[in-house]
Amino acid sequence: MTESSGYARLFDLTGRRAVVIGGGGGIGREVALGLAAFGASVTVADLSGDAARDTAAAIGSDATGIGLDVLDETALAALAGAPVDVAITTVGVNVRKRLADLTDADYDRVLDTNLRGVFRAIRAFAPGMAERGSGSVVAFASIRAQTVEPGQGLYAATKAGLIQLLRTAAAEYGPAGVRFNAIAPGVVATPLTAPIRADERWERAYATKSALQRWAAPSEMVGAAVFLASDASSYVTGSVLTVDGGWTAVDGRFDPFAPR
């Protein structure tokens, strides 16, 4: 065996126990399938228990699907009661209104799901991981944590706050060997973005903003999730892995070389 042969196992998740919150559909479903493909035993949790069980069935016998409200502290504590090596949350909601048109109910809904939910997940899973001396927690943020547009104020604020929560957790639990990172997708074709994609003008405008000139498929988020869950990222914590097709790298306002 050569000294470098161990690198072939960097992404191997065999023997790891993973929880994917929001795994019933969209990005979460693909992440659950991806973790399982690399050997992890996966518990799929989703507000829709039926959707979670459907994802688990697609994985096979080494997966379990359960209904879970991320704001239910008792349910989260029960889920974290068993040893967990990897916890990933993909949950999120959006209310597209200008700031002056938002209601307190809108605020509560978006903040509770996108920020309080992640806070409670950290609080549920981190102590047990710290006791065992290892673990990886990953939450899906968004490019909206960095760049904004009218009508996405609450969503952007929660995603920026989510990143800072993870960075704080990275600082607090790093000495115990637990890592916390965020993934920031660009525009992904999921049920959450279906209303935007239904409008041809918006669909095209979003597609052409990135360097790759297209929307991402949910499966294109899997590589980042597997990387952050695995030993391949053993020295990565407190980081944001941007998977946006170049959206935040390119201004996109004017191309002087485009055909006229």
Residue pLDDT, tens place only, 15-63: 999 999 999 999 999 999 999 999 999 999 999 999 999 999 999 999 9
CA distances from 59 to 30, 39, 217 (A): 10, 11, 19
Q: Which residues of the chain have pLDDT under 70?
A: 1-4, 252-260
Q: What does the domain layout of the chain look like in residue ranges? A: 15-247
Distance CA 161, CA 1 (A): 46
Distance CA 186, CA 247 (A): 7
Q: Which residues contact 151 (CB under 8 A, 6 or more apart)?
A: 96, 97, 98
List pLDDT tens digits, range 119-128: 999 999 999 9
Could you tell me which CATH class the domain 15-247 is placed in?
Answer: alpha beta
- Residues serving a catalytic function are 155
Give the pLDDT confidence score for residue 146 in this predicted structure.
95
Residue 135: closest CA among 180, 82, 196? 180
Give the pLDDT confidence score for residue 79 in this predicted structure.
96
SS3 content of the chain, % helix, strand, coil (to 5): 50, 15, 35
Distance CA 60, CA 172 (A): 36
Other C-beta atoms within 10 Å of 103: how many?
A: 10
Give the pLDDT confidence score for residue 193 in this predicted structure.
87
DSSP 126: H
